[in-house]
Amino acid sequence: MATVKVADRATGPASSPATAADRGSPATARDDSRPRLSLCMIVRDEEKRLGRCLDSVAGLVDEIVVVDTGSRDGTRALAQQYGARLADFAWCDDFAAARNRSLELATGDWIMWLDADDVLPSNEHAKIRHLLSRGQPRGYFFVLDDQGYERVSCLQLRLFPNRPGVEFELPVHEQVTPSLTRLGISLVPTDIRVLHTGYPTVGIVKAKKERYLAIMERWLVAHPDNYIVRSHVALIYHTTGQLRQAEAEYRRIIYDSRCLAERNYVVYTTALLFLGRTYLKLGDLDAALHCMRWAEREDPDYVLTRLSLAEVLVRRAEYDLALPYALSVPATGRQPTFFPLDYDEMLYSAHILAGQAYQGREELSRAEHSFRQAAQVPVPRRSQALGLVSELCQQQGNNVGARQALEEARTIDPGNLQHLFNLGALLLNEGELEQAEACFAAVVQQDPEQTPARLNMGYIARKKNDFARAETLYREALEHDLDGVEARANLAHLLLEQERYAEAGAWFEQVRQRRAELLDIDLGLLVVQAVGGDAAATHGLASEIIARFPDIESEMDSASGTARTLLRLGAELLRRNLARCAELALLAAAALDADARAAHRALGELYYTRGVYWQAISRFEMLLQAHPGDAVVFGRLGDCYERLGVAAAARMCRDQQRQLGG
């Protein structure tokens, strides 16, 4: 389990040791009765890092043994400057063999091993000397704190007595513990920390995994029963997304190996847990929960198992069961384990899962508290927790709180475009079009491939009746997302609004080819067909659409019957708050039956309700051309002009309404 990180207190340049004392030799005459400590290392091309490592053990170790596996830089010369006993080793894809060569050369009573990218903080020296002075033949685990790209911690056996028969085993992730156990030497965990500074980028981590995987896969061909190496192979498969391969390897460890018979409970329980986590990644929540429950029975206190159970139970919406597991992770504290874990990442995830569980239980204030706790954990993605706070505030209608949370998130992570996009979306929902557009424009400027921002800018242009700019933005979105459905759909609807029916129809067809049964797309194409007078196509598509609504009375025997059916569909869609789809159904009805008085009236009322008054006026005027004596329509027309502030036209409509007795 990850532990609190220790500050790197090593000092001095990486390449220019000052005195013999700085090179691992004691500063004063040594006490011959004191146990001697040998530092054993294997290196290759480590000129830039070796000096810092050796400086960090100055005054602690009595002997430095460096085995070089083929350096082509100044590593060997640097090691000699520190007084190291130097040996060559022809690399054979076997880390254990190289380390065993270093053990052969060690003359101390005790051996400590480090890598060139390790640093031993000076405040740990006294702890190590105390262990040696006790004279007990034990092996000691140190806490390895990885300070590189993967900020994980775990226990590693780093200090042990120099005895015949002690040796490393396994070609990668080599271990000395099996030989110590065979010799009857007990193994003890400590809080002594070693800082590992290697693997600074994701590319280096990826290359390392690929290299190790190739070595281990070859080794397993000759040693198929070694479940320890197989567990390392399975983990690389799991972490690199080769999930079916990971599943097969974990199942082989659990069901076909001697892991449990040999009481290797660490490997066995980890295999159970990560088989569950593999199923979780594959989306098989039942299988994931089964394996995780099994792992829990083997070790109910393992913190990663508890976090994993919280995750799968939240995914299954079993919030009451998930919550205790999520809350137990912070309560457990930093649990040292043999498996490398990033405790801060686990703590962050636990708070997020607790928040999601509270949210599922509709305990929204507690959910917000948990999300805010997550935002306090020092992980790179902590600002995302404030994004969840913003979403939570929006659900409660608290747009002010939502906006504040996003501004906090942007303060923590100013380069996060998702926060800027979400702020734009929030401003758009509040009707602050200019500010929203500025946010989306900034997103596009920094990430030209961000098509959702362009689509929202297109929507804003439509709201401003700037159809030319909206069309340009939609077409730009298509250039960056050649197969995009949303850009095509938006462009089709825009062209339909401009009565460019043939062009709109072509885009609606393209969307239907990519994604079937989108109601607004099918209805848009239906309007195009109805306006174009394609009776057969219109009847076929209308029948297909109406079939999705079995409760609607259908009379598709004629154009007027289809229009009446679509009118009923429009009413049903309005009831479901699908205003745009209702509008399209009514437009199709009006196009099918020129005398569809009810369709025109319904469209006028729909546009009036949505505040699109000029479109409402157009529909009401169509009705009056066919039925000039309709006092009710004159009244509604007057309402529209009144809303638009055209007082004279509104008075004329009211006068006409009174004359007709309305």
pLDDT in the model for residue 147: 79
Tokens 């066995």 — which residue? 268
- What residues pair up with 145 in beta bridges, in sequence order? 153, 195
| Whether the Cβ atoms of residue 290 and residue 333 lie closer than 8 Å to each other | no
pLDDT in the model for residue 383: 96
Instruction: Report DSSP letters for 183-216, one per residue.
Output: TT--EEEEEEEEEE----SHHHHHHHHHHHHHHH
pLDDT in the model for residue 79: 96
Distance CA 447, CA 205 (A): 27
Around Cβ 248, how many Cβ atoms within 10 Å? 13
Spatial CB neighbours of 264, under 8 Å, sequence gap ≥ 6:
227, 228
- What residues pair up with 337 in beta bridges, in sequence order? none
| Whether the Cβ atoms of residue 61 and residue 24 lie closer than 8 Å to each other | yes
Pairing of strands 63-68, 85-88: parallel
Distance CA 562, CA 591 (A): 11
| Whether the Cβ atoms of residue 450 and residue 421 lie closer than 8 Å to each other | yes
What sign for the dihedral angle of Cα 401, 404, 408, 414? positive
Residues of the chain with pLDDT under 70: 1-32, 148-150, 199-201, 594-595, 662
Say how many Å lie between the first and final Cα of the chain, rounded: 80
Tell me the domains of the chain and their CATH numbers: 21-198 (3.90.550.10), 483-594 (1.25.40.10), 611-662 (no CATH)
pLDDT in the model for residue 11: 26
- What residues pair up with 146 in beta bridges, in sequence order? 196
pLDDT digits (tens, 9 = 90+) for 67-86: 999 999 999 999 999 999 99
**CA torsion 430→436→437→441, rounded to 10°?**
-160
Contacts of 634-639 with C-beta under 8 Å, sequence gap 24+, read: 634/660, 634/662, 635/662, 636/604, 636/605, 636/608, 639/608
pTM for the whole thing? 0.76
Tokens 């976090």 — which residue? 307
Distance CA 632, CA 623 (A): 11
Distance CA 102, CA 69 (A): 11
Sheet holding 63-68, edge to edge: 85-88, 63-68, 37-43, 110-113, 153-161, 139-146, 187-196, 118-119
Distance CA 86, CA 458 (A): 69
Give the helix ranges, DSSP H, for 134-256: 177-182, 202-222, 227-239, 243-251
| Whether the Cβ atoms of residue 657 and residue 629 lie closer than 8 Å to each other | no
3-state SS class at 450: coil
B/e letters for 434-457, b = 16+ CB within 10 Å, e = fewer, are: eebbebbebbbeeeeebbbbbbbb
B/e letters for 58-85, b = 16+ CB within 10 Å, e = fewer, are: bebbbbbbbbbbebeeebbebbebbbbb
φ, ψ at 338 (rounded to 5°): -80, -10
